[in-house]
Structure 1
Amino acid sequence: MWFDAGVNLTNKRLLKDLDGVMLRAQQAEVRKQLIISTSIDEAEQAIKLCQQFPEQLVMTVGIHPHDAGEAPADYKQKLKELAQHPGVVAIGECGLDFNRNYSPRPEQEAVFVAQIELANELNLPLYLHERDAIDRQIELLNQYCADNTLCLTHCFTGGADELKRYAERGHWFGITGWLCD
């Protein structure tokens, strides 16, 4: 049996064939799927999906670093409210992405720190994204992340040295398509 810890099920291409996607997952013995939310809107969509398939789906609530610049002023309160849904199992996908810089770095950092604090407060794991920002991301995690807050480094494009730095903090790792690169 499998647990898919990184499903972008709110993507329009997958939503067009939602029943087919869910059926194929069952046929492949994928018993649970974790829907990744990268914005408030995606989290709201994911809640509806979790309500539709409560035995198969769980989700995260978070703001991706690419979307940090578009976060509403009350994003932390909205995330906290959304996190009360029983299907929510983690905060994220959050972190820093200095590769593309779709959002300004100061905004990425502020939104990331707020999500670290929220995960600590709600005793939920962090679902992390990081590209070309390991030094700053580790620095912020060391500064703000509680020792008992679990971390899954999902998007990770570094090598063995970077992997070791996350492992020293006790992180879990997602295996993404980047493994093929």
Structure 2
Amino acid sequence: MQLIDIGANLTHESFDPDRDAVLARARAAGVGRMVVTGASREHSPRALELARAHPGVLYATAGVHPHHAVEYTAECDAEMRALVAAPEVVAVGECGLDYFRDFSPRPAQRRAFERQLEIAADTGKPLFLHQRDAHADFLAVMKDFEGRIGPAVVHCFTGTREELFDCLDRDWYIGITGWLCDERRGAHLRELVAHIPAARLMIETDAPYLLPRTLRPAPKSRRNEPAFLAHIVEELARDRREPADAVAAATTATAEAFFRLGPSAA
């Protein structure tokens, strides 16, 4: 399997001691390409640096997660626009709304989200989106940009059946993580993933977060990493009643088209 992890937080400090080894393990597990998530003023430039250091293997997004929305000033907007202009940056985000934790006030979240949607509208680059417990407001903000923005993926989808079909009805893409493997919170996804068209489905680890709970043996560190993406593919294939190699091929083709990566050189 040649897989693409569309969401890995490889700038996280937990990877500082062994990042090269993490990338080597990913390649050995069939994960040939990874999109490094940029989710703040601090980490978006680092994501671009990593992508430039590993051309053809790592790509980056540039954005400000709703947790950090209060940092989205005019200066921050200029910084994001400069980052998004880089060819290694393949999407705007991670951006969106998060009312589960409310680490930033909701009005600040909506303003930061709208500013980043403006960047996507101006540049034509795809969107890497985050939504948690904010579905109605998320749809309303996105509706204001209807016809102005290009493709969008709802990263780490964890929502309800109704939310899934709302996204699919708008032709948005869906990112599935190891949340699928969590019997406490993700059991409902087991049935829902079968309804996602192959051309709208992508896979991600969200490493170092969301270690699949069904992974055996589990790493002692409890740190998730891109090498475990193949396990998510196997679980996803079982729930979709499809061969794992078919799910791998389809999600890779979808990611290549969405992020405009072109086929792998490997």
Please indicate the TM-score interval, normalised by the length of the shorter structure.
over 0.9
Counterpart for residue 80 of structure 2: 79
Checking the alignment, whether the CA contact within 8 Å between 1:37 and 1:92 is kept in structure 2 is yes
Number of residues of Structure 1 aligned to a counterpart in Structure 2: 181
CA shift for structure 1 position 71:
2.7
Are 1:31 and 2:32 matched, yes or no? yes
CA shift for structure 1 position 15:
2.4
Alpha-carbon RMSD: 1.2
CA shift for structure 1 position 148:
5.0
Counterpart for residue 153 of structure 1: 154
CA shift for structure 1 position 145:
4.0
Counterpart for residue 18 of structure 1: 19
Counterpart for residue 126 of structure 1: 127
Partners in 1 of 2:149 and 2:50 — Cα distance? Answer: 29
Counterpart for residue 99 of structure 1: 100
Checking the alignment, whether the CA contact within 8 Å between 1:96 and 1:109 is kept in structure 2 is yes
Deviations 1:78-129 (A, max 9, x none): 1000112221000000000011100000000000001111101100111000
Tell which has more relative contact order, 1 or 2 (C-alpha 8 A, sep 6+). 2
Letter aligned with residue 109 of structure 1: R
Counterpart for residue 171 of structure 2: 170
Partners in 1 of 2:23 and 2:176 — Cα distance? Answer: 21
Q: Secondary structure at the match of 1:174?
A: strand
Q: Secondary structure at the match of 1:173?
A: strand
Checking the alignment, whether the CA contact within 8 Å between 1:61 and 1:82 is kept in structure 2 is yes
Letter aligned with residue 122 of structure 2: E
Counterpart for residue 110 of structure 1: 111
Checking the alignment, whether the CA contact within 8 Å between 2:4 and 2:31 is kept in structure 1 is yes
Letter aligned with residue 130 of structure 2: H
Q: Which has the larger radius of gyration?
A: 2
Deviations 1:116-170 (A, max 9, x none): 1110110011100000100010011011243551010003321111000011110
Partners in 2 of 1:95 and 1:130 — Cα distance? Answer: 6
Counterpart for residue 140 of structure 1: 141
Partners in 1 of 2:49 and 2:119 — Cα distance? Answer: 22
Structure 1 segment 22-61 matched on structure 2, within 5 A:
22-61=23-62
Letter aligned with residue 71 of structure 1: Y
Q: Secondary structure at the match of 2:24?
A: helix
Q: Secondary structure at the match of 1:81?
A: helix
Checking the alignment, whether the CA contact within 8 Å between 2:9 and 2:37 is kept in structure 1 is yes
Deviations 1:47-76 (A, max 9, x none): 211121112000100000000012343221
Letter aligned with residue 123 of structure 1: G
Q: Cα–Cα, structure 1 residues 145 and 119, in superposed 2: closer, same or farther, change >3 Å?
A: farther
Partners in 1 of 2:71 and 2:148 — Cα distance? Answer: 30
Q: How many percent of aligned residue pairs carry the same amino acid?
A: 38
Checking the alignment, whether the CA contact within 8 Å between 2:10 and 2:36 is kept in structure 1 is yes
Counterpart for residue 179 of structure 1: 180
Checking the alignment, whether the CA contact within 8 Å between 1:94 and 1:128 is kept in structure 2 is yes
Q: Secondary structure at the match of 1:74?
A: helix
Q: Which runs of 5+ in 1 are unaligned?
A: none
Q: Secondary structure at the match of 2:155?
A: strand
Q: Cα–Cα, structure 1 residues 26 and 19, in superposed 2: closer, same or farther, change >3 Å?
A: same
Letter aligned with residue 124 of structure 1: K
Letter aligned with residue 163 of structure 1: L
Once structures 1 and 2 are overlaid, which stretch shifts more, 30-39 or 69-78? 69-78
TM-score normalised to structure 1 length: 0.96
Q: Which runs of 5+ in 2 are unaligned?
A: 187-266
Deviations 1:15-35 (A, max 9, x none): 221110110111111111000
Checking the alignment, whether the CA contact within 8 Å between 1:116 and 1:145 is kept in structure 2 is no
Q: Secondary structure at the match of 1:37?
A: coil
